[in-house]
Amino acid sequence: MEHTTGEERLLDAADTLFYERGIQAVGMDAIRTASGVSLKRTYQLYPSKEHLVEAVLRRRDRAVRDGIEAYTSARATPTERVLAVFDYLHDWFGQPDYRGCAFINSFAELGGSSPNVVEIVRTHKRAFADHLAALVAAAGRPPQLAAQLTLLANGAMVTAAIAGSAEPAREARAAASRLLDAEPPA
Amino acid sequence: MEHTTGEERLLDAADTLFYERGIQAVGMDAIRTASGVSLKRTYQLYPSKEHLVEAVLRRRDRAVRDGIEAYTSARATPTERVLAVFDYLHDWFGQPDYRGCAFINSFAELGGSSPNVVEIVRTHKRAFADHLAALVAAAGRPPQLAAQLTLLANGAMVTAAIAGSAEPAREARAAASRLLDAEPPA
DNA sequence: ACATCGAGAGAACGATCGTTCTCTGTCTGG
DNA sequence: CCAGACAGAGAACGATCGTTCTCTCGATGT
C-alpha cells in the first residue's frame, strides 16, 4: 500500500471523507491531512474542489459498475443474474460504514446547485438501470420489469441507510422474485 | 396570506430554501431576507440553525403525513387505498420544483453528523412504512408486502428526482399492483 | 559543485458562515 | 407626556472555508 501514487491517495481520502460526512462538510484541509498530499499538489491535479468532487464521483461510478458486473456475471442463469443484484446490495448494506448510495447522497446535497454533479449522478443511475435492463432482457422478461426492479434497488439503498439495516435488500429481492414469477419468460 | 405570524413565515421560507438548495447551502441571512423575520427574532424563536432545521423537518413531517392520510382515505376500497399512495407520489413528482424527498435529502446531507436529524428522518420513514402497513393489513395482505411497497415508494422518490420525471410513480404503481395480485387476500 | 526546478508545509487572504451586539426608533403603561 | 421595554436593521465578531502565496529544502543535470 506504500507505493500508491499521490493522486490515488488523494482520491481515496476524498472519497472516504465525502462519503462519511458529506461533501460540503469536508474541508480541503481535512483531505490534505487524510491523504498526505499537499494542497499545492492537490490544486495542480484538480483546479478546484468541485473538480475533485467530480473526479471522485466518476471514479466511484466506474468501481461500482465493475463491482456489479463482476457480481452478476458470476451467476449461472439469466434469472439468477437478475436476483444477484439484490445479493450484491445485501453485501454492500452489511458493511459497517454503509451510509447510503454516494450518488443519491451527492444529488441530495448538491443537486440544487451543481449541474455537473447532477449529470454524473444521472449517468450513473442510468447505467445501473441499463445494466439491470440487459439482465432482464437476457432472462426473457419485458422491459418494464427492469424499471420496477430499479425502483426496488434504489429504494432499498435509501431505506437501508436510514433504518441502519441490511434487511431491505432481502425484502427487495423477495419482491423482485415475485415480479419475475408474475412475468414468465416468453 | 398577509396576517401570518412571523414564525410561520420563518418556517415557510426556511423550508422552501432548504428544499431548493440543501440545508448547508442556505445561510441564515438568506432565510432572513426571504422571510422578513429579523435575525434577532429568529434566534429567540430557535436558539441555533440546527434547532430551526429540526423544527422545519418536524413541521414537514406532520404536513406530509396529513397529506398522505387525506389522499388515501378518500378512496373507497382497501386495495385502492394502497394504490392511492402511488397516485399521491405521481402528483407530487409532477410539481415543477420537485427535488426529491426532503427527509431522504436531509439524511444524505447531515446523516453523518447530526443524530437529531437522523432521528427525525427515521421517525418519518417509519411512520410512512407504518401507514402503508396499516393499509396493506386492511386489504387483507401479509405484512411483508408492506415493506416491499415501501421500497418501491422510496425508490420512486429518488429515481424521479434524479431522472427529473414523474414516470417512476407509474412504474412503482404497476409493480405494486402486480405484487398485490400475487398476494390475494386471505 | 552549483544553479534550477519543483514540491511540501503551512501561513495568509478574502469571502462567507453562524451568532451576537449596537444603535435607533416605536410602542406601551402610568 | 414621558420612561422603559422591545423589535428591526444591519454592523461586527470569530471561525472556517476554498484558494493562493511564501519560504525552504532536496533532487537533478551539467
Rounded CA separation B8/B5 (Å):
5
- Residues in A 60-79 with any Cβ partner in B closer than 8 A: none
pLDDT digits (tens, 9 = 90+) for B105-138: 999 999 999 999 999 999 999 999 999 999 999 9
Q: What mean pLDDT is predicted for residues B44-50?
A: 95
Per the confidence metrics, is the pTM higher than 0.75?
A: yes
Cβ atoms of A52 and A17 within 8 Å: the answer is: no
Q: How many CB atoms lie within 10 A of CB B29?
A: 9
Asked if B132 reaches chain A (Cβ–Cβ under 8 Å), the answer is no
Could A100 and B107 be called an inter-chain contact, meaning their C-beta atoms sit closer than 8 Å? yes
Binning pLDDT at 50, 70 and 90, where does residue B63 land? very high
Residue A158, C-alpha cell as written in the block: 435509501
> Which residues from B are below 8 Å from A109, CB to CB?
22, 24, 105, 108-109
In this predicted model, what pLDDT tens digit does every residue of B134-173 receive, in sequence order? 999 999 999 999 999 999 999 999 999 999 999 999 999 9
Spell out a b/e string for A33-62, using b for 16 or more CB atoms within 10 Å of the CB, else e: ebbebeeeebeeebeebeebbbbbbeebbe
**Cα–Cα distance, A76 to A85 (Å, whole number):** 13
What confidence tier does B48 reach under pLDDT thresholds 50, 70, 90?
very high
**pLDDT, tens only, B83-108:** 999 999 999 999 999 999 999 999 99
CA–C1' span, A25 to C13, in Å? 21
Amino acid at B143: P
CB < 8 Å to B109, chain A: 22, 24, 105, 108-109
| Residue A184 scores a pLDDT above 90 | no
Q: CB contact, 8 Å: B179 with chain A?
A: yes
Query: Tens digit of pLDDT for each residue in A130-155?
Result: 999 999 999 999 999 999 999 999 99
d(CA B12, CA B31): 9
**Pick from A60, A168, B4: which is nearest to A176 by CA?**
A168
Average pLDDT of chain B to the nearest whole number: 95
Which of A20, A144, A161 has its CB closest to that of B107? A161
Mean pLDDT over A152-171 rounds to 98
CB count within 10 Å of CB B70 equals 10
For A5-44, the pLDDT digits (tens) are: 878 999 999 999 999 999 999 999 999 999 999 999 999 9
Per DSSP, helices labelled H in chain A are: 6-21, 28-35, 39-45, 49-73, 78-93, 102-110, 115-138, 143-163, 167-182
- B26 shares contact with chain A (CB less than 8 Å): no
* DSSP structure class, residue A77: S
- pLDDT-derived band at A3 (thresholds 50, 70, 90) equals low
Q: Across residues A76-104, what is the average pLDDT?
A: 97
Confirm whether any atom of chain D, the nucleic acid strand, is less than 7 Å from CB of A40.
yes
B154 vs A186 pLDDT, higher one: B154
Q: Rounded distance, CA B129 to CA B136, Å?
A: 10
pLDDT-based confidence at B6, cuts 50/70/90? confident
Distance from CA of A29 to the nearest CA of B (A): 18
Q: Per-residue pLDDT averaged across A52-72, rounded? A: 97
List of chain A residues whose C-beta atoms are within 8 Å of the C-beta of residue B100: 107-108, 111
Range with the lowest mean pLDDT among A125-129, A154-158, B5-9? Answer: B5-9
| Bases along strand C below 7 A from a protein CB | 7-11, 16-22
D chain positions with any atom within 7 Å of a protein CB: 7-11, 16-22
CB of A38 less than 8 A from some CB of B:
no
Asked if the C-beta of B130 comes within 8 angstroms of chain A's C-beta atoms, the answer is: no
Q: How high is the mean pLDDT of chain A?
A: 95
